[in-house]
A and B are shown apart, each in its own frame.
Chain A
Amino acid sequence: MAPSIGGAMAEFCSDGLAFSPTAKARVAELLGRYPRKQGALIPVLWLAQEEFGWLSPAVLDLVAAELGLSKSAVLATAMFYTMLYKQPHGRYHVQICTNVSCYLLGADDLVRVAVDALGIQPGETSEDGLFTLEAVQCLCACERAPTLQVNKKDYFRVTPAQFQQLLTQLQEEGLRLGPSVGWPGADNCQGALAEAGHA
């Protein structure tokens, strides 16, 4: 799928789109780990995503330039991996496991709770840029099903009531903090290493 709103972010950050000095140092360190520089590509794409929120075409170009790789090689790799975002994501990426073990223990009820609470379907992002909802594959904690993940944090043996409460909390927090890093129009396009996780 082509990144459809790529232009927005590229324009927004087009003035001096660059890695922070910390990130630049990290790129150099990552390059030292592999006998060929393309080995550092996925780690550097992760880094770029933490810096800029998502991998807009401008960010992909920056990565290509930084590593001295062709733009097409960078694009091909970025497109292949679902966790590398080619579109801006909500501040809270709510990912509900709907694979077999979780399905057996009520995952679909959790999806319904999220759809009702957030007003979006799996695969969609709310207009305010706060939530992206996704039904994901096995998170490999099936003995603690049903499971879900919000950004980098796992939630295990989740009941619908607990999930409802969590979403309400996140909604309140989100209203205070605003949309995610790199959300078009948000004033936080860069230097956000610390922000990508929801502790």
Chain B
Amino acid sequence: MPEKRLLLRSHLGVDFTRLDNYLNHGGFAMWKRALELGPDGITAEVKASGLRGRGGAGFPTGTKWGFLPKDGRPRYLVVNADEGEPGTFKDRYFLEEDPFRQLEGILISAYAIGAHICYIYIRGEYWNSKAVTEDAVAQMYRAGWLGRNIQGSGFDLDVYVHSGAGAYICGEETALIESIEGKPGMPRLKPPFPANYGVFGYPTIVNNTETLAAVPVILEMGGAAWCDLGSPKNGGTKLVGVSGHVKNPGLFEVPMGTPMREIIYDLGGGILDDKEILAIIPGGSSCPFLTKDEIDVPMDFDGLKAVGSMLGTACITVIAEGTDLIGVMGRVAKFYQHESCGQCTPCRQGTGWLHAIVQKLDAGAAGEEAIDLLVDACNGIDGNTICAHGEAAAWPIRSICKKFRPQLEAAIRQRAAAAA
């Protein structure tokens, strides 16, 4: 068993949505430690831990906190709980089953960065997550863990749950900020970065739910010890998911750098009907696809980058042999077209073309030349947009065209034969 559980504890069978249960299992013990360390001490531990953002981009968290300007303006903490990346189901765990873990991380992190207001932006479709997290926030207010002078510390913090309303693009941090401001979720040009100009123009730190949930564990173990759990430059443990054609789909926790093969076969139970793997999406559908020969890769930011893909959200989608890749590509293309905010032409038009070309392929109305056309369109999007949504569409589709060309050609011939 390659698992190492520090965050994930559904197996304990305890109802962690109740504050008393959370407290009885050592909850909020790290608040005391945080006060001892002070803001700079906490940031130093987080830096030492090597914690990299769990939202997908993997930016070092402590470094990001250090970007806040010291100019006396009010600061905000924003939690990115807009989980929407297709194939992903990790933040949902905290929001629904262990909400105080994230909230303890929020309290400590807000204290570290000097924020007195935190917005938790939860995806609109996550009704249960919103209800559980709102209830957890209310429990904390009642028990003096939020509000004025928290537990006599002199520190004030208000936490508000802000519901999204059905737009994937609001997961992009500047679109999320626009959305909190009550505007359409259109990403901003960067710079300025949120640390300087975030919600309502104030200095803002945006962190993913899992990133913040790791903070209390880091304080408990000490940053250096936590870092040592993972591979070099990829500290700690990571929640990983396995879904698709596997026998034991689910959410697990492993040291960073655990071989992907072990996650798929040991934790995920191997492939349904003992088939071969056709393709792997390593961490949500924005990541370039991998072949079955590429799964001996360490599951961490650098390992996946080395094989031309990304760790992303670390929730793996397994696609077994015999699956129609044109069908899969159709779902991917449709998603990115539907979710494009529309403000850059290469993304708005390009994702439309991708979807239209794949639809033609699917209908048997296009030949092999359409594969080259898809690659062309992807190249036209890549690097030419305001936010990474364009690449999130182009990279996976281009990877399918390049790595799975024989399978695509066979699928095209099959459709032609069926039509004849």
**Residues of A bordering B, CB below 8 Å:** 33-36, 38-43, 45-46, 69, 73, 76-77, 79-84, 98-101, 103-105, 136-145, 149, 152-154, 197
Contacts and interface: CB of A to CB of B under 8 A. Distances in A.
A104 B332 CA distance: 13
A98 to B, nearest CB: 7
Nearest to A107: B331
B79 interface: no
Contacts of A73: 182-183
B268 to A, nearest CB: 9
B39 interface: no
A42 B281 contact: no
Q: Which of B84, B165, B185, B338 has the most CB of A within 10 A?
A: B165
Interface stretch (B57-65, B87-95, B145-153, B300-308): B87-95
A52 to B, nearest CB: 16
Contact of B92 (A33, A46, A141): A141
Contacts of A154: 127-128
Contacts of B317: 100-101, 104, 142
Contacts, number: 142
B241 A142 contact: yes
B162 A42 contact: yes
Contacts of B158: 33
Contact of B84 (A40, A103, A137): A137
Contact of B89 (A36, A45, A142, A152): A142
Contacts of A35: 200, 202
B244 A38 contact: no
B181 A143 contact: no
A42 B163 contact: yes
Nearest to B82: A140
A46 B165 contact: yes
Contact of B241 (A34, A99, A104, A143): A143
Interface in B148-171: 158, 160, 162-168
A60 to B, nearest CB: 13
Interface residues of B, number: 53
Interface stretch (B107-115, B245-253, B385-393): B245-253
Contact of A143 (B126, B245, B249): B249
Interface in B229-244: 241-244
Given A35-B200, A82-B165, A140 B92 contact: yes
Contacts of B128: 154
Interface of B: 83-89, 92, 123-128, 158, 160, 162-168, 179-185, 200, 202, 241-245, 249-251, 281, 285, 315, 317, 319, 323, 327-328, 331-332, 335, 338-339
B180 A39 contact: yes
B184 A152 contact: no
A7 B292 CA distance: 56
B39 to A, nearest CB: 23
A82 B170 CA distance: 12
Contacts of B182: 34, 38-42, 69, 73, 77
B331 A42 contact: no
Contacts of B251: 143
Q: Which of A40, A41, A138, A144 has the most CB of B within 10 A?
A: A138
A46 B162 CA distance: 11
B370 to A, nearest CB: 20
Given A82-B165, A104-B323, A138 B179 contact: no
A105 B319 CA distance: 10
Contacts of A77: 182-184
A43 B319 CA distance: 39
A3 to B, nearest CB: 16
Nearest to B285: A100
Contact of B331 (A33, A76, A100, A149): A100
Given A99-B86, A100-B281, A104-B245, A139 B323 contact: no
5 contacts: A76-B184, A83-B164, A100-B332, A137-B86, A138-B285
Given A100-B86, A137-B86, A142-B317, A42 B179 contact: yes
Contacts of A38: 181-183
A143 B250 contact: yes
A26 B109 CA distance: 29
A38 B179 CA distance: 10
Given A81-B124, A138-B335, 16 more contacts: A33-B160, A38-B181, A38-B183, A41-B182, A43-B162, A45-B165, A73-B183, A99-B285, A100-B281, A104-B317, A137-B335, A140-B126, A142-B86, A143-B89, A143-B249, A145-B249
A140 B166 contact: no
A100 B87 contact: yes
B335 A99 contact: yes
Contact of A149 (B87, B125, B241): B125
Nearest to A76: B184
A152 B163 CA distance: 13
A79 B183 CA distance: 10
A140 B181 contact: no
